[in-house]
Structure 1
């Protein structure tokens, strides 16, 4: 059993320096000629609690087809998800001693994922983490959010939030419906006020961006979005330049930034740091919306200049806070 150190789990405390650590793991795919091809994948250390030998599981009735069963770990029942099955990989039939279960914690939930082997932990700059859109056309259904080039292989970072939502639809942001949320003001006057405001979204997951955009635009907000922190920074600099050239206040163009933490090229905390270094963005409200918003990560986000933080999948809370910070109302 391999426990991650507190230093590894809290690596995002240093994200003002735009760095992260990933656990590299393998998934094996059997080709039509019988040979086995190894694929290399990664997950942010901040999502990983520990790595264990494959546990004995108990079948759970009516579970998702990719769920092998559940097991008890320190008085918690945890599902074991066959990641290869979810990715629709044709896998070798026999089990292998190198297989491990990665225990994860994000979205306020614990899960585990069956993988075919653990390689090592890498510490890298987000600048070296590339968007998959540079390789393939981005699609809402894409489950790869980032790619890391190594000397002899590519490591693909999977969209574990999307996997979680597919396995646990009742806990997914997709289950939220703004039209039935009684805490949200849906009166015509409020909708019209929101229609004059622009919210900027920075998130590397097309799945998450679409959900946030649908929720906020249904409430009335205008939406602009970016695929990662670097693209967000460049677009926001264009707003700054346009406002200066036109002689208008910045908040006539953009009123609030919602940013993920984990993003290729520039992470969300580094984006906050860069924005707060500029006079024009010193007072624009910034909300961090992340699946790994622990108490320590929240402290760091606020220290760097974020106004507030929300843990996915609390998208209803995100809309409440957007109203609060855009209009200054409780």
Structure 2
């Protein structure tokens, strides 16, 4: 237990500091890729794989991991990496926890874990189109040279393998409150277009309008522009859903900046994150979010939205 608490304390020190650690690795090309260490449980050498006939083409099989069977996804195939992979040996597995599920990603050479700032993480260039599998890029100094590192949009990878149902259960709906939601606006902040789409497809069923920003800095600029113009935050949006990990400014720092501005410090903020497990309560307590929602749970999204609408009507 003491080891677990030490790990929680170490990781939560990054929360609110606009910093992250990334695990860098290769996929049989000159490119260097990365995942946020916060999502990584551990890295293991590829054990015996059990093949599953008829499974998705990106799944290489399942392994026994700590007494449970978990799927292994060929990350090179999943992001549709082109070109030759000569001498590529996919013999490592990154065990990750996303959206309340555990899976492994088959990769090649492990390089480094680097502590960096979200301010140094940039969105992919706009000219790469919409079909890429990146949420961000950055440059890291590595062995006397600067390396371009591409951070993978794991939520998009998983959404293409696992179907996410955006329908809302009838027993969740409070029809009196949901009627009041029609025409209301919310701000959704997430670097993953897939994640933004999931929220949008869910809440628009209730007539809620969605304003989208792809990172915390863009969202903060929007919020400050409203209050600088003398507008009331409550007149512009009902609440904000924000991801945790985003380029330029993460959701933790965004929340802290909002709480520090008396003109909008009361804004209802729900942290909507693919992070799950032992760190959630510590993170929410530290950054001051009103609610935490582990992706992707449409019914819980609607419950939180209705709770916020109910509270707004009572004030």
Q: After TM superposition, is the score higher than 0.5?
A: yes
Pair 1:219-2:203 in alignment: no
Query: What is the match of residue 171 of structure 2?
Result: 182
1:238 positional shift: 1.0
Q: In structure 2, how many angstroms separate the alpha carbons of the residues matched to 1:301 and 1:158?
A: 25
Q: In structure 2, how many angstroms separate the alpha carbons of the residues matched to 1:77 and 1:239?
A: 50
Query: What is the match of residue 148 of structure 1?
Result: 138
Query: What is the match of residue 122 of structure 1?
Result: 114
Q: In structure 2, how many angstroms separate the alpha carbons of the residues matched to 1:149 and 1:55?
A: 32
C-alpha offsets along residues 90-149 of structure 1, whole Å, 9 cap, x if unaligned? Answer: 4537663x73111111211111111111000000000000011x353552x431000012
Q: In structure 1, how many angstroms separate the alpha carbons of the residues matched to 2:240 and 2:277?
A: 20
Q: TM-score, normalised by structure 2?
A: 0.89
Q: Which residue, 205, 228, 233 being the options, matches 1:250?
A: 233
Pair 1:231-2:223 in alignment: no
Q: In structure 2, how many angstroms separate the alpha carbons of the residues matched to 1:130 and 1:92?
A: 27
Determine if contact 1:49/1:103 at 8 Å carries over to the other structure.
yes
Q: In structure 2, how many angstroms separate the alpha carbons of the residues matched to 1:94 and 1:279?
A: 58
Q: In structure 2, how many angstroms separate the alpha carbons of the residues matched to 1:60 and 1:8?
A: 36
Pair 1:321-2:311 in alignment: no
Determine if contact 1:12/1:46 at 8 Å carries over to the other structure.
no
Determine if contact 1:20/1:44 at 8 Å carries over to the other structure.
yes
Query: What is the match of residue 84 of structure 1?
Result: 76
Q: In structure 2, how many angstroms separate the alpha carbons of the residues matched to 1:217 and 1:241?
A: 29
Determine if contact 1:8/1:21 at 8 Å carries over to the other structure.
no
Q: Which residue, 158, 180, 199 being the options, matches 2:186?
A: 199
C-alpha distance 256-115 of structure 1, shift in aligned 2 (>3 A): same
Determine if contact 2:177/2:309 at 8 Å carries over to the other structure.
no
Aligned length: 305
Query: What is the match of residue 56 of structure 2?
Result: 64
Q: Which residue, 249, 261, 264 being the options, matches 2:247?
A: 264
Query: What is the match of residue 303 of structure 1?
Result: 286
1:61 positional shift: 2.6
Q: In structure 2, how many angstroms separate the alpha carbons of the residues matched to 1:284 and 1:211?
A: 22
Query: What is the match of residue 151 of structure 2?
Result: 157
1:197 positional shift: 2.1
Query: What is the match of residue 168 of structure 1?
Result: 162
1:55 positional shift: 1.2
Question: What is the SS of the residue equivalent to 1:176?
Answer: coil
1:50 positional shift: 0.8
C-alpha distance 135-196 of structure 1, shift in aligned 2 (>3 A): closer
Determine if contact 1:285/1:326 at 8 Å carries over to the other structure.
no
C-alpha distance 95-223 of structure 1, shift in aligned 2 (>3 A): closer
Q: In structure 1, how many angstroms separate the alpha carbons of the residues matched to 2:151 and 2:12?
A: 17
Q: In structure 2, how many angstroms separate the alpha carbons of the residues matched to 1:25 and 1:9?
A: 26
Q: In structure 1, how many angstroms separate the alpha carbons of the residues matched to 2:247 and 2:12?
A: 14
1:303 positional shift: 3.1
1:70 positional shift: 0.8
The alignment yields a C-alpha RMSD, in angstroms, of 2.4
1:6 positional shift: 5.7
Q: Which runs of 5+ in 2 are unaligned?
A: none
Q: In structure 2, how many angstroms separate the alpha carbons of the residues matched to 1:5 and 1:81?
A: 30
Question: What is the SS of the residue equivalent to 1:153?
Answer: strand
Q: Which runs of 5+ in 1 are unaligned?
A: 29-36
Q: In structure 2, how many angstroms separate the alpha carbons of the residues matched to 1:102 and 1:287?
A: 29
Query: What is the match of residue 209 of structure 1?
Result: 196
